[in-house]
Structure 1
Amino acid sequence: MNSTSAFTWEKAKQVVEQIVFNNIGEHPKDIEMKVLRGSWEGLTYEKMAEQSHLSVNYLRGDIGPQLWQKLSEALGEEVTKSNFKGALERAWGRQLFPHIDSNLKQLQSPLAELPFPEGSVPLDSPFYIERDNIESICYETVVKSASLIRIKAPKLMGKTSLMTRVLSYAASQNYQTVYLDLSSVERGILTNLDKFLRWLCLMVGRKLKLENRLKDYWDTEILGSNDNCTVYFEEYLLPEIDCPLVLGLDEVDRIFPYNQVVEDFLGMLRSWHEKGKISEQWKQLRLVMAHSTEVYIPLDMNQSPFNAGLPVMLQEFDHKQVTDLAHLHGLNWNDTQVRELMNIVGGHPYLVRLAMYEVYTQKATLKQLLQDASTEAGIYSNHLRRYLETLHSEEAQGLKEALTKVVTSPEPVELDSMQIYKLHSMGLVQRKDNQVMPRCNLYREYFRRVL
């Protein structure tokens, strides 16, 4: 049994009743528990007000804030409508194993089947860490007409995990959702605008379980590819579902190198967003895009979707978030241990989780792990070697020399704009004004040695 399946509403209710009573000496109010239950089920304040026949302003302005403030004080961390589940589960976990040694595995705890950290964090995982209320802002935005959300961060920073949650929230509001990962598309399709837009229409239709009617709508004699794609959405896909559609496009930067495609495609997305301001049909479409860095060809600011909508920048975890993640892993680390790990890998989500997995499963102590981190014997060897292979490939021409310059300099250095774009997209460097430096000491130490 995993942690999430074990942590039910009934257990959450028990945790809330206990911590509130222990903190203020009285039980939560019935209306507060109704708001908590509604939030647990993913309901908006409007829906809760409708079901309880109460004023939405009363629930949103009075009861909700009072409840989250009570829980914040009782738990010693900021609790909101969007992150309360994780906070309560952590409290439940602490009740189950309050005296865990930092390197001991609790075989009977919900963490006994701790999954290896790879890829995006599943929806039912307790190891997803919310960042600075970003999730709730995205949830509020995605339900607005013709909304556009742009998630930007280097690789392995949690873009897909956040997008998955935004789409899941939209689905809970009875919206149709479609997730498309552009990294899986063949290059032959990505480099041909007409093929790419046909692929887009076909895949969206399939995800919506609609018949393929491209032959009926694709006019190759008169209309261009952008117009054909727009017509297919406007006259077929959107009318057929008759409800809001949230289209999630992941790894959008996969098309950035293909000038003949990227300008037209991004211009089309921007036009869809603008149509939503005046057209009832296009108000139904909401876009969520994720990319690793900026497009590196000049785009007209009025035609680029990167100058519109809600920008979401995913940063690394801070000290508190790394500490919270350690507790979720059953590791009773103190501030010194957290700082030691962050001194090597920063707050990089994947690198942090991999370290905690290794310590929790007793494959290494934190001290051993940090000593070997940048060596071939360390836990990051496969991760680092993949980067090294990429740097030696023909496609990465010039990047090896550029990164060598970065890791051997004690100060941030200037690079060619294209080199900065590619290294930042890979997640190897971080920007500081117009210069760059290694993203973390792990990368500095390893690449300084092997390059």
Structure 2
Amino acid sequence: MTIDEVVLLLKASQATGLTTLQEIILRYSWEGKTHTNIACEAHYDEESVRKIAAHLWQLLSDFCKEPINQSNFRHTVENHRLSKAHQQLVKEFNKAATAISLEFPSSPVSLNSRFYIPRPPIEELAYAEMAKPGSLICIKAPKKMGKSSLILRLVACADNQGFRTVTLDFQKADKAVFATLDIFLRWFCTNVSQELQLEPKLNDYWDEDMGSKVSCSIYFHQYLLSVLETPFVLVLNKLDSVFEYQEIARELLTLVRSWNERSKEVEIWQKLRLVLVCSTEIIIPTKLTQLPFNIGLPIKLPPFTKEQIQDLALRHGLDWTNSKNVESLMAMVGGYPYLLRLAFYHLVGKGGLEGDLEQLLQQAPTKAGIYHEYLKQFVLVLQDEPELQNAFYEVINATNYVQLEPALACKLQSMGLINLESDRSTVACELYRLYFRQYLNKSESLNNNCVEQLF
């Protein structure tokens, strides 16, 4: 059994399910952490952790028909497979739970959702890095790959450890904020202050003679970090929005780099833990070239594997363990979380597990398909950018990879439309190839008749 199967089995078999602490103990014990470690990290009394753990080991001993304790938990359970009776128990539990908790996948996967699929060791690496003084994490993945869902869990982990947290979304900034570097950094400092429920005091620390970046650093050093008594996690989300303003992007990224470097020398800067989040490679624009921003722990969110898709199916009440359905779905949409979750939502979303996968896949690249509303927005974006449209047209009609102009390739990758390995561009999934071939024409804008077909 895997740890996810253990958790599901206990949730399904206990009348009251599992408490949050019980699940924490199981998952942390699986990672080899002691009762003392668990109590410390989860902020619970150690004696309570020991008592609850003892109860869990007894339950698992009954299931496995052999003694289980803290030391042999993972080794013993990994060698056991779910019996047919237990598989049926889990299946019925998933079916009932799905009917109650089914969520339309339009927003980040909530913390208490059953549909969040971990991607080990990504979560563990991110949690461990965030706990380090002065750390910096760069999370990069195309849209709809799970960045926001991971951020929710990073912030929750930080909150549980008593850290202060702020998530700054650059997409919410007015265009006027990007008029000058000084305006931008003052907006930046003001928003961070207010999110920390501190009175903005920019005029006390801002000095035109020293410049905006130095003033911003002084503000963080002498005011924000000095006031805070605990580590401070600052998430810079939708960083791509800043990339449209090259000078501001360059100055912001060099400022972030300097803060990270200062943490190695100045203790107060070790309080600051930075998380940068974007949909494409982080580039520092310069007059002569574009340089990749290589600093901190890079985290890329890969597509789901076959095993993870089987897990997601199971959480929707579908047992696809010995089925070709996973391969059929992957052949159309790859391992892209949003596309997969939308498929499962429609397969089970009308009260029964009677959704027709074959019909869903046949209709997928058409106007009648479940993805039409999502995909037509990209057609409209491409309509307004002929260069981008022509570039994507080349990719979807190529039999192999295509070498695109770097800026166009990065933009298509950030939209999630292509895979980009080095300078080699390929279409992200077969769904996109089939769908967009209906609407894109090379070297000419989308005409009104073509656009009208979308609606």
Question: Aligned pair 1:201/2:195, yes or no?
Answer: no
Question: Aligned pair 1:413/2:407, yes or no?
Answer: no
The number of residue pairs the alignment matches comes to 396
What is the match of residue 20 of structure 1?
Answer: none
Equivalent AA in structure 2 for residue 420 of structure 1: A
What is the match of residue 69 of structure 1?
Answer: 75
TM score, norm. by length of structure 1? 0.80
Equivalent AA in structure 2 for residue 242 of structure 1: E
What is the match of residue 89 of structure 2?
Answer: 95
TM score, norm. by length of structure 2? 0.79
Distance verdict in 2 for CA 1:232–1:297, change over 3 Å: closer
What is the match of residue 295 of structure 2?
Answer: 308
CA contact 2:139–2:299 (8 Å) conserved in 1? yes
User: What percent of counterpart residues are identical?
Assistant: 37
Q: Secondary structure at the match of 2:138?
A: strand
Question: Aligned pair 1:380/2:380, yes or no?
Answer: no
Distance verdict in 2 for CA 1:68–1:210, change over 3 Å: farther
CA contact 2:285–2:291 (8 Å) conserved in 1? no
1:33 CA displacement: 9.4
Distance verdict in 2 for CA 1:171–1:340, change over 3 Å: same
Q: Secondary structure at the match of 2:437?
A: helix
1:309 CA displacement: 0.9
1:423 to 412, 424, 429: 412
What is the match of residue 25 of structure 1?
Answer: none
Q: Secondary structure at the match of 1:351?
A: helix
1:196 CA displacement: 1.5
2:346 to 329, 337, 358: 358
Question: Aligned pair 1:289/2:276, yes or no?
Answer: yes
Distance verdict in 2 for CA 1:373–1:229, change over 3 Å: same
RMSD (Å), alpha carbons: 3.3
Q: Deviations over 1:154-213 (max 9, x none)?
A: 111011111221121111111111111112112221342112111111111111111111
Distance verdict in 2 for CA 1:7–1:230, change over 3 Å: farther
1:255 CA displacement: 0.8
Query: 2:71 & 2:380 partners in 1: Cα distance?
Result: 51
What is the match of residue 101 of structure 2?
Answer: 113
Query: 2:186 & 2:338 partners in 1: Cα distance?
Result: 35
1:216 to 204, 209, 215: 204
Question: Aligned pair 1:337/2:308, yes or no?
Answer: no
Show the 5 A alignment for 1:171-210: 171-210=159-198
Query: 1:11 & 1:94 partners in 2: Cα distance?
Result: 26
Query: 2:126 & 2:398 partners in 1: Cα distance?
Result: 39
Distance verdict in 2 for CA 1:432–1:110, change over 3 Å: closer
Distance verdict in 2 for CA 1:166–1:261, change over 3 Å: same
What is the match of residue 380 of structure 2?
Answer: 389
1:298 CA displacement: 4.2
Query: 1:117 & 1:99 partners in 2: Cα distance?
Result: 21
2:119 to 116, 127, 131: 131
Structure 2: tracts of 5 or more residues without a match = 1-10, 51-68, 441-455
Equivalent AA in structure 1 for residue 299 of structure 2: V
Show the 5 A alignment for 1:197-276: 197-220=185-208, 222-276=209-263
Q: Deviations over 1:330-366 (max 9, x none)?
A: 1122430011000000000000000001001139421
Q: Deviations over 1:93-144 (max 9, x none)?
A: 96354498xxxxx4x4354231111121111111111113110111111011
Q: Secondary structure at the match of 1:109?
A: helix
Query: 1:215 & 1:11 partners in 2: Cα distance?
Result: 46
2:139 to 146, 151, 157: 151
CA contact 1:276–1:282 (8 Å) conserved in 2? yes
Distance verdict in 2 for CA 1:426–1:439, change over 3 Å: same
Equivalent AA in structure 1 for residue 378 of structure 2: Y
1:375 CA displacement: 0.4
Q: Deviations over 1:378-428 (max 9, x none)?
A: 0000111011111112xx340111111111111111111111111111110
Distance verdict in 2 for CA 1:33–1:231, change over 3 Å: closer
1:8 to 13, 18, 29: 18
